[in-house]
Structure 1
């Protein structure tokens, strides 16, 4: 059996690499996908769509265009995955991760949330719809191992 796992959420740490490396070390049959994790690249994803001779600047419309371009990738990958791992970090509020969790729930796509205990309360609805909650990468890898063995 092979799993297609989408890694969503926080981009300021190496949690994705940790999961991928641990799964490779265990020789798990998993194909990983992810949103763009380079913040500047993600923020500028829609720059090529800016209309000539407009005064759109770097504000709302730039973010709006980039969000739409990024959504093409996110939507496609979530729909194609077997399971999503959705990471909420401690430093920033990942509204995009919450949106991804909601999209998974709407599609009846299983997902695991990954976050520390100190943000249980603000994520209670997200966690309630999740199929599992992990506080560390090892728990995620153990769960993926169980699913494939």
Structure 2
């Protein structure tokens, strides 16, 4: 009898587009569960000071938030079977690069999602990945194939 369990996918990276929703919608019917960082930008930025107290210096304000967010991010990456990291067009996502490196260091199966114009800048990140996709739908195709062994 085959051992079966739900595969866990962590969706890391840019928060300004609907790419996560497109993957989750496209993967309906597959035995996958999804986790992600907090995508409410204000909540993510201010969680540290809202929970642990105000900081007069912006550096410490940001650091406190980053550390609280890191608890969620580390857990999501560490418990994932597959990590998808999206690099968007508009912003430099240093945190996404960090997440990709962390996932690679843990030996996680890594799928990178970014537009072609980022190929050169992300060449080292792409080299650590097992797949580099251009669209959320390609990510769904990889997930479907990994789970079912079928195309389309």
Runs of 4+ in structure 1 deviating by more than 6 angstroms, as ranges, are none
Shift of residue 137 of structure 1?
1.0
Q: Give, in angstroms, the shift of residue 102 of structure 1.
A: 0.4
- Which residue in the other structure is 2:38 paired with? 36
Q: What is residue 17 of structure 1 aligned with on the other side?
A: 21
Task: Provide the C-alpha distance between the structure 2 equivalents of 1:79 and 1:131, rounded to a whole number of angstroms.
Answer: 17
1:138 corresponds to: 137
- Of stretches 7-16 and 41-50 in structure 1, the one that deviates more from structure 2 is 41-50
1:36-71 CA distances to partner (integer Å, 9 max, x unpaired)? 0000000011012236xxxx3261000000000000
Residue aligning to 2:52 = 49
Equivalent positions of 1:1-149 (< 5 A) are 1=4, 2-24=6-28, 27-47=29-49, 48-50=51-53, 56-57=55-56, 59-149=58-148
Q: When the two structures are superposed, what TM-score results if normalisation uses the length of structure 1?
A: 0.93
* 1:42 alignment partner, SS class: helix
Aligned residue pairs total 143
Q: Aligned equivalents of 1:123 and 1:137: distance in 2?
A: 18
CA RMSD of aligned residues (A): 1.0
- What is the distance in 2 between the residues matched to 1:6 and 1:113? 12
Secondary structure in 1 matching 2:100: helix
Aligned mates of 2:47, 2:121 — CA distance in 1? 29
TM-score (normalised: structure 2) = 0.91
Instruction: Give unpaired runs (5+ residues) of structure 1.
Output: none
Q: Distance in 1 between matches of 2:145 and 2:57?
A: 46
* 2-structure distance, mates of 1:57, 1:120: 39
